[in-house]
Amino acid sequence: MAHINLLPWREELRKERQRQFAVVAVGSMILMALIILLVHINIAHLIDEQDSRNRYLQQQIAKVEDQIKEIRTLEQEKQRLLDRMNIIQRLQQNRPEIVHLFYEIASRVPSGVYLTSIKQSGHKLVIQGVAQSNARVSAFMRQLDASDWLSNPQLDVIQTKSKGDERSSDFTLRVQQVSKTQQEAKNAKGKGGRK
């Protein structure tokens, strides 16, 4: 039988297969590296896009917050103006009442009574004056109580002073001002109760 040495051929085939395997392995590694690089570039691009969107949204949010602050400032200014308008409107409505009030006080002061000061706080009046006698102070209080514009007079202080033959009484009294709107409400209530 003849001996044929097949080992070199097998050895060459094995080396060829190893070389092909190495080429395929290196090619696979290069391909895998390219795929990873592409995926990384794509993800980096997506992250950059998302960052730019986030920056845009933050800019828009900052603009909206500025607009909200401006709106709040305008609302506060509007409320201040409305409050001023209401005060002016109340003053305009009360303007004739003040004239009526001073007319009523002046017309209700009896002879022998002199007023030294009138202070108003809301609908309350503090009247200070000098009278020739306590009876004249009482008459003044009755006159005030009979008024349509004034009610509930209360005497706080009365001090009698004597100078020789003359006597005088310093007095302080409080009285409520009845506003026109309160009068109208009372009148409407009175008419409603009579029906």
Distance CA(157)–CA(47), nearest Å, equals: 85
Average pLDDT over residues 77-81: 95
Q: Is the pLDDT of residue 192 over 60?
A: no
Domain boundaries, the chain: 89-194
Cβ atoms within 10 A of the Cβ of 149, count? Answer: 20
> pTM surpassing 0.75?
no
The better pLDDT of the pair 33, 189 is held by 33
Q: Is the pLDDT of residue 175 over 70?
A: yes
pLDDT of residue 195: 44
101-124 per-position pLDDT tens digit: 788 888 888 888 888 998 988 788
* Dihedral pair phi/psi, residue 151, rounded to 5°: -155, 165
Fold of 89-194: Gyrase A; domain 2 (3.30.1360)
Amino acid at 160: T
27-56 per-position pLDDT tens digit: 999 999 999 999 999 999 999 999 999 999
pLDDT band of 5, cuts 50, 70, 90? low
Amino acid at 188: A
> In this structure, are residues 140 and 108 in contact, taking their beta carbons and an 8 Å threshold?
yes
pLDDT of residue 96: 73
Distance CA(13)–CA(65), nearest Å, equals: 76
> Which of 115, 88, 104, 114 is CA-nearest to residue 178?
104
pLDDT of residue 60: 96
Distance CA(120)–CA(107), nearest Å, equals: 18
Handedness of CA 40, 41, 42, 46 (dihedral sign): positive
Question: How far, CA to CA in Å, does 9 sit from each of 3, 5, 18, 188?
Answer: 14, 8, 14, 128
Q: What is the dihedral of CA 85, 89, 91, 96, to 10 degrees?
A: 160
The better pLDDT of the pair 117, 91 is held by 117
Quote the tokens at residue 6: 């097949």
> Whole-number mean pLDDT of the chain?
85
122-171 per-position pLDDT tens digit: 788 899 999 888 888 888 888 888 888 888 888 888 888 877 777 888 89
- Who contacts 190 (Cβ-Cβ below 8 Å, separation ≥6)? none
Average pLDDT over residues 3-16: 75
